[in-house]
Every structure is written in C-alpha cells, then in structure tokens.
Amino acid sequence: MSASDDRSAGGRADLNRPRQPMSAVIESPAVAPAAESPGRRALRRFLRHRLAVFGAVVVLVFAAVALLAPLVATADPNATSWSAIRRAPSLQYWFGTDENGRDVFSRVVWGARASMMAGTISVVVALLAGVPIGLLAGLVGGWVDALISRVADAMLSVPFLILAIALAAFLGPALENAMIAIAISASPVFVRLARGMALDARATDWVEAARALGNPPWRIGLLHVLPNIVPPLLVQATLAIAEAIIAEASLSFLGLGQQPPEPSWGSMLNSAQRFLTQAPWLAVFPGLAIFLVVLAFNLVGDGLRDALDPRSDKR
Amino acid sequence: MTPLLELDDVEKHFPVRDALGRSRGAVRAVDGVSLSVPEGGVLAIVGESGCGKSTLGRVALRLIEPDRGAIRFQGEDLRRLSGAALRARRRDMQIIFQDPFASLDPRMTVEDAVAEPLILHGTVPRARIRDRVAEMLVRVGLRPELARRWPHEFSGGQRQRIAIARALASGPKLVIGDEPVSALDVSVQAQVVNLLQDLIRDLGLTFILISHDLGVVRHIADRVAVMYLGRIVEEGPAPEVFANPRHPYTRALLAAVPGQGTAAPPLEGDVPSPISPPPGCRFHTRCPHAAARCSAEVPLLLGAGHRAACHFADTLPPAAPLREADPGGERLRRLQAFFRPPPAQTGAMP
C-alpha cells in the first residue's frame, strides 16, 4: 500500500501535520438556524401545555404567598380574640375566624409556608438520598444492588402514609420530624427509579463509549448517566411534592406535624371537624388550599412528563 | 517486531439461565481465538451476525472481560492492568460503534463529547482543548461552528463523523470499527469509508474493521480474518484470501456476496447454536467437503501468512474464481470516486 511509508514513522499519530488531501465536506449541515439545548426545547414544549402552565402559575402563587407570608397576611395568625369567635367571612375577616377568634385567611397564608416547605424540603432530601443510592445500585450491581433493592422493596411494601405516620410517631410530634418522616418514606421511589434508569443507561452504546474513552466509574455515573435520568426524576419529584403536601397535612391533622398554635392546613382541618355545620369556612378554605396546590403540582408534573418525553421528538 | 495487539487463546462465554436462574449452558461467543495484529494497516474481521466478531472486538479492548486468554497491547497484558492503569491505556486504543444514534451521549454537546478524551488523558493543555476539538471536527469533515450543538441535531453520517472525531481525539494507535458504516445510507457509507481510509493513512492508524460487508472489506482491508461460531477459520492477506480462499466457509461466504455468481452452491441449513456447537470442525454440519474426520477432530489454524482451520485446506479443489467486477464493491468504488475531490483540487478545503 502506498501509505506504508507514512506508517513506518511509528509513534503517536500526529494530528497537527499539514492537511493531506482528504474527503470533501459533502454533508452540509441541514440543521436549525440556532442550537437548541434539550432543556430549552423542553421549556418550549411545556409552555404549549395550557393546563401545565396554569398549574405552574398556581404553584408560583402559593410559593410567593409562602415566602411573603408576613406581608400577605392581614393579621397575626396566632392572635386570639374572644370578641370574634367563628365569625363568617366578611370584609374584615376574608375567610372568617376560628373557634379562638383567629383570622382564618392569615392562618391559611402562614399554613402555606408550612405545607410548601414540608413538600419541597422533604422531596429534595428524598432526592438527595434516594438518587445516589439508586445510581449506585444500578451501576455497581451485584450484592450492592441486591441489598439496596431489597431494603427499598421492604419500604415500598408499606403504604407511603402509614410509613410516614409510623416514623413521625417514632420521631415525636414536630414539623421537622414530619419532614424527615416524609423524606424517608418518599426516598425508596427515587431509589427504584434511579436504579432502573441507571440499568437502562448501563446497557446503552453511549455508556460503553464513555467506558471505552477511559472514563472512571464515578464520571460515568455523574457526568453521563445522571444528566440523562434527570427528566424522569424531575417528573417524579414534582408528583412527589404533591404527595408530600398531603402527607404533611395528614400528619398535622393527626397532631404529628406542625404543633399548635402554629398554623397548618392539616391541623386547621382537624379543629374544623367539630364545627362543620356551624362554621363550614373553617374547613373549606384550608381544604381548598390543599386541593389547589396538590392539583397544581400534579398538572405541572404531567406537563413536564409530556415536555421531557424523548419519544415525542416532533414539535 | 512485536505486534501491536496480540490475542492469545481468548475465550468469552455468556452464561444462559432459564426463568428460575438455573444454568442452561453458555453462549460460546468467542471460543479460543488467537490473533496477532501488526502495527499499521487494516485488519478486517468478517463473519455472519452472531459469529462473535463484535464480542471479540470488545474483548480485545477489555471492554468485556474475557474468561480466559491473554490480550497483549504493545507486549503488555491488558488483563493484568488495574482499573486506573487500563483507563490510562485507553488513550491508545479506541472504538467506533455501529449505531451513531446510540453511541453519542444525548445530553452532551459535540464539543463536550470530542473534548472528553482530551480531558481524561490530558492530551493537550486545557487552554488548547477548544482549538483541538475544532481541529478534529475539520479533520472529519464537519464545520467547527457546529461544536456547540447537540447530537439530535445531526444526521446519521454527521453523527458517525462526530463519533470518529471523539475516538481519534486522544491520538490512539489502535482503533476498532465495529461495523462503522453498516448503519448508514449507501451514499453516506462511501463518504465515511473515504474518511476512514484517509484518516488511517494520514495518522498511521492500526485499524480493526469488524464487518459483514465484504464489499467494504475487500476495498480497504490489508488482512482478513474470517470467523465462524466463535472461532477464526481463516486468516491472511486480503487479496490472497479473496483470490484463493482455503476454507470452505470462506468460499461460501464469498460466493454469497450478492451478484458475485461463483459456481459454489449456496450453504444448506442454518448456523448451529453457539450454546452447543458441533464437535470437531464447527462447520462440518454444513460443509460440502465434510468427511468422518471433520466431526471428530478440531482442525487447527495452520499455515504461514495465510492460515486456514480445515483438515483438507491443501487438498480442496481450487476455488471458483470471483467475478472481477463485484457489483457491491464496484458500486462503493464509484460512489467513493464521486465523493472524492479530483486530485487537482485537493490542496484547499472546499
């Protein structure tokens, strides 16, 4: 072959030599005018989803209310007034007052803070704990996988809320403990999801290519597999926040979460039970708040799922 | 001179289990392969799908751990290397995969993908990485402005060029192409074959081409190894193997190239299961020349330069000559000529 003298030079291939005659650039890049990242594309598709956008707006409103509770509330949520017990909604008391004469609107506003915090923080903790463990199980395999999977299965065999109640009862009644309990009960879902996605990824050519390039295992896990499993994790996390908010309300309802007199939607519902016929507003407004927030997070989750679905590559 | 890569009695069996996890034997994907790859040039490994050629390619880079045997790269046994030492060696040995839609990380830009081997192996200083990526993209015929794009924005041929740029970025000595063009359109195949030929020549690469496409193999291979059911049945210089195949399986394979039209009758039956390959010569169940000895005694890969694993390699009647104008190869050559700029204009980039 005519190229044999080239080869006999030996040593590392030299890429910096002057260019030799080579094949022409024939395939002109018939691509969109500007590069679009996967994230940007997902955002564009999400914004087309009307219900999801509505959900996102509601979530943002509640998040703003939770953050700005001191400014939004019209009164001190814990201030009692014996002259205004169980007043119906009016211009002065938008959502009425409760059995101790506290302003229900202000309590719903401050309760948003407890619910949103409990929902997001516990899910973030569940993600931070569950995803690395799941990745480890999926990528390392063997007995590590077997051990982690069996523990996750055992936790998943107990209903989410029952496990959370048991853990919260064990840890003692406090909002922080309720959040820890919810985080622990929510994490096996993420372990299992991350493990399954990592197993899928491990079988792909691009992970084998990453190994062939000389990537150490931690780089494959963090730089290749993790970014690729973010979309389903994001969807799952959004839906999990909705569940965590219900769980927090349930724990507070049972007296295991936010402690009186601090306001929480769950504990407000609990004390409203006794006055359902005389003062329905005590139950309606916190119930409506829970309903709206949970619905909104679910809508956002569904929208994200559609927007991030790799199979809907069109549009 | 020591060969660049040497495989010594390499074996890889994949255990097969039934639904209850009980062992049901093993797929003998690679079953005792010894092969020596000299530095420079193109060695093609050919065979039907399922014969173990892709597994052999991955075992050769120790991407799959063999059950037995030695893999010596520049005289050093890869199987004795620890994880970190092996990863460092990967700078010198790379692989190009068949499916360019699966081999690029969908969440990495072209620039990040091509830069990765440079970062991993410290091939160039950090400040020079971007220049080097642009250089590699130009080398494989892509515009460097495309570096910031994601794989999903490219066609199959462009993606394969990106995969080639990534594989060559660290300056490897050995590159394995696992069916690098067979997932591409025919017209694009010719361009990518052109590109590979140019790169192999210009960079002095040693290239192992794993392929079932004899048109491409005949065109660019210097040596050919033919695999059947996990074993190499014939190995030698490409022109000789094509002109004078010594193993009946090679003859059947060449005769089966569409439009080749040699006198050899087509093979009867299917490839036996690799879980329980036939005893003796694995090909004897389908071989038109099989004798009693073939089902009892395993033939060795014998000969100098041009080796064949057949008891009757020296006494078989001469093979029917191949028709000179093989349509597959001819079509590829014509396409290649079409896409290659005429010699007078090669000085400048179009």
Tokens 């081999």 locate to B103
Per-residue pLDDT of chain B (350 residues; tens, 9 = 90+): 688 999 999 999 999 888 887 888 889 999 999 999 999 999 999 998 888 999 999 999 999 999 999 999 999 999 999 999 999 999 999 999 999 989 999 989 999 999 999 999 988 899 999 999 999 999 999 999 999 999 988 999 999 999 999 999 999 999 999 999 999 988 899 999 999 999 999 999 999 999 988 888 988 999 999 999 999 999 999 999 998 899 999 988 888 776 555 555 667 778 888 888 889 899 998 888 888 889 888 998 887 889 999 998 888 877 766 655 455 566 677 777 777 765 554 444 44
CA dihedral over A10, A15, A16, A21, signed as positive or negative: positive
Domain boundaries, chain B: 5-225
Distance from CA of A35 to the nearest CA of B (A): 5
| The residue count for chain B | 350
Of residues A146 and A12, which shows the higher confidence score?
A146
Per the DSSP assignment, residues forming a β-bridge with B224 are B44, B236
Tell me how far apart the alpha carbons of residues A152 and B115 are, in angstroms, rounded to a whole number: 38
* Beta-carbon count within 10 A of B207 CB: 24
Architecture of the CATH domain A38-75+84-308? Orthogonal Bundle (1.10)
Q: Rounded to an integer, what distance in angstroms lies between the CA atom of residue A24 and that of residue B195?
A: 9
Residue of B nearest to A39 (CA): B107
- pLDDT score recorded for residue A249: 95
Q: Which two tokens stand for residue B327?
A: 């349509």
Percent of chain A with pLDDT over 70: 87
Q: How crowded is residue A167: how many other Cβ atoms within 10 Å of its Cβ?
A: 20
User: Residue range A209-231: average pLDDT?
Assistant: 94
* Structure confidence at residue A267 (pLDDT): 93
Note the pLDDT of residue A311. 61
Contacts of A12 in chain B (CB under 8 A): 171, 173
CB A126 within 8 A of CB A186: yes
User: What pLDDT, on the 0 to 100 scale, is given for residue A295?
Assistant: 96
The nearest CA of chain A is from the CA of B136 a distance in Å of: 8
Q: What is the pLDDT of residue A6?
A: 40
Q: What are phi and psi of B25, to 5 degrees?
A: 85, -160
Contact call for residues B104 and B162 (beta carbons, < 8 A) = yes
Q: What pLDDT, on a 0 to 100 scale, did the predictor assign at position A120? A: 95
Please give the Cα distance from B74 to B182 (Å, whole number): 30
B95 contacts A205? CB cut-off 8 A: no
| ipTM summary value | 0.86
Search chain A and give the residue with CA nearest B175.
Answer: A212
> Are the beta carbons of A38 and B63 separated by less than 8 Å?
no
Confidence of residue A24 (pLDDT cuts 50, 70, 90): very low
Neighbouring C-alpha atoms within 13 Å toward the C-beta of A12 = 12
- Quick one: B55 exposed, middle or buried, by C-beta within 10 A (0-12, 13-18, 19+)? buried
pLDDT value at A3 more than 70: no
Rounded Cα gap, residues B137 and B166, in angstroms: 9
Residues 152 through 181 of chain A touching chain B, CB cutoff 8 Å: none
Q: With an 8 Å Cβ cutoff, are B141 and A14 in contact? A: no
What integer pLDDT is reported at residue A159 of this predicted model?
94
Chain B segment 110-169 residues within 8 A of A by beta carbon are 116-117, 120-121, 135-136, 139, 141-143, 146, 148-150, 152-155, 157-158, 161, 163, 166, 168
Distance of CA A168 to the CA centre of its chain: 21
pLDDT score, position B326: 55
pLDDT for residue A315 is more than 50? no
CB contact under 8 A, B173 and A13: yes
* Interatomic CA distance for residues A82 and B295, integer angstroms: 103
B17 beta partners: B23
Secondary structure E strands in A55-189: none
Question: How near does any CA of chain B get to the CA of A119, in Å?
Answer: 29
Contact across the interface for B135 and A6, Cβ inside 8 Å:
no
pLDDT of residue A13: 43
Gap between the Cα atoms of A76 and A79, Å rounded: 5
Q: Where are the beta strands (DSSP E) in chain B?
A: 5-17, 23-37, 41-46, 68-73, 76-77, 93-96, 174-178, 206-211, 223-228, 231-237, 307-308
- The token duo for A156 is 């998943």
Sheet holding B223-228, edge to edge: B93-96, B174-178, B206-211, B41-46, B223-228, B231-237, B307-308
Contact between chains at A13 and B204 (C-beta distance less than 8 A):
yes
* Token pair belonging to A251: 């724990």
A31–B346 C-beta distance less than 8 A: no
Q: What is the pLDDT of residue A193?
A: 96
| Omega within 30 of 0 (cis) for the link into A29 | no
The residue ranges of every structural domain in chain A are 38-75+84-308
- DSSP H stretches of helix in chain B: 53-60, 83-89, 110-121, 129-139, 156-168, 186-203, 214-220, 238-243, 248-255, 327-339
- Angle between helix B156-168 and helix A205-213 axes, rounded to 10 deg: 20
pLDDT of residue A314: 46
**Surface of A (192-211) touching B: CB under 8 A:** 204-206, 208-211
pLDDT of residue B315: 81
Q: What is the CATH topology of the domain spanning B5-225?
A: Rossmann fold (3.40.50)
Average pLDDT for residues A6-12, to the nearest whole number?
Answer: 40
pLDDT digits (tens, 9 = 90+) for A96-109: 999 999 999 999 99
